[in-house]
Amino acid sequence: MLNLQDLALVLRPSWGGRVLSLTWRGQPILSPMQGAEGVFDGRNWPKGGAYPLFPFHNRIPLGRFSYRGRDVRLPVHPQEPNAVHGHAHQQPWHMVDAGDTAAELAYQDAGDGAWPWAFTASQCFRLRHDGLELLLSIRNQADEPMPAGLGWHPFFAKALRISSDAGREWTMGADFLPSGVWHLAGTEGAGTRYLSDWSRVDLTLSSGLRVTMRASGLSHLVIHDPERAYSCVEPVSHLANSINLYPHRAADNLADLVPGGLLQARISLAFRSLQAPPQ
């Protein structure tokens, strides 16, 4: 557990590098992960806390794509016919370093299982007096180029309002896969939204807390706000299924990492209390 005055962060590296809980002044910022003392099932994850998205996010239909003339097939999720959210969040991570207010988690993949390229990934958490900073990184450890993306999937406590300054919103089908077509984004919207060209998101939680998210190196954003006890706002590096939509275009796509190449991103969360919970 990390503590800094009003902030408390609980990590569980062995459960896919997850955050179990994040509270500020005793109020939950993230919807707490339930069943934390039970057995972790990496392919049927609880809807709480937060987990990392490596080496891609969201869906790749049927787990199939082509890269540099190579046909790739990934394991699909047991509940749908797609590869979902990478696989690093299903595997044990380990604690590299931990102090009172900062911690680093790391993951190493040999490239002989769910992803055909070797890579390493890390999450560095640091508490501030008014929030949290998170540095994400992935490095290609293979002897050939590989596609790579990253992101973070927090389950915030239920939000009464979510607004962003995103410039584009991408249309999608009933299968939650984007069509590749975009239009100008509105400040707010309901349900699930794929956004890009953003710099700030504000969430007003039902507890009366205001959360402001900013990021660098993560040009895309997924907002998933179902009729449940949580709201997801996921900063990510690329458009879902971009490797099939835009195989030859760098913008909006997975990064093309040379051997030894590094992709990094930074996320910051700032918290403050409203004078009274909104009506």
Longest dimension (CA), the chain: 58
Least confident of 40-49, 92-101, 190-199: 40-49
- Please report, as a single letter, which amino acid is at residue 170: W
Q: Taking a C-beta distance cutoff of 8 angstroms, is the pair 263, 146 a contact?
A: no
Q: In a 10 Å sphere around its CB, with 0-12 CB exposed, 13-18 middle and 19+ buried, how is residue 143 labelled?
A: exposed
Provide the pLDDT for residue 42.
75
Residue 86 has pLDDT above 60, yes or no: yes
* Residue 151, strand partner residues: 53, 236
CA distance 124 to 53: 14
Provide the pLDDT for residue 247.
72
For the four alpha carbons of 198, 188, 171 and 268, in that order, the dihedral sign comes to positive
Query: How many residues make up the chain in this entry?
Result: 279
CA distance 254 to 237: 7
Q: What is the pTM of this model?
A: 0.94
Q: Taking a C-beta distance cutoff of 8 angstroms, is the pair 214, 242 a contact?
A: no
Structure tokens at 182: 């975009």
Q: In a 10 Å sphere around its CB, with 0-12 CB exposed, 13-18 middle and 19+ buried, how is residue 205 labelled?
A: buried
Residue 240 has pLDDT above 50, yes or no: yes
Provide the pLDDT for residue 37.
65
Q: Taking a C-beta distance cutoff of 8 angstroms, is the pair 261, 142 a contact?
A: no
* Residue 142, strand partner residues: none
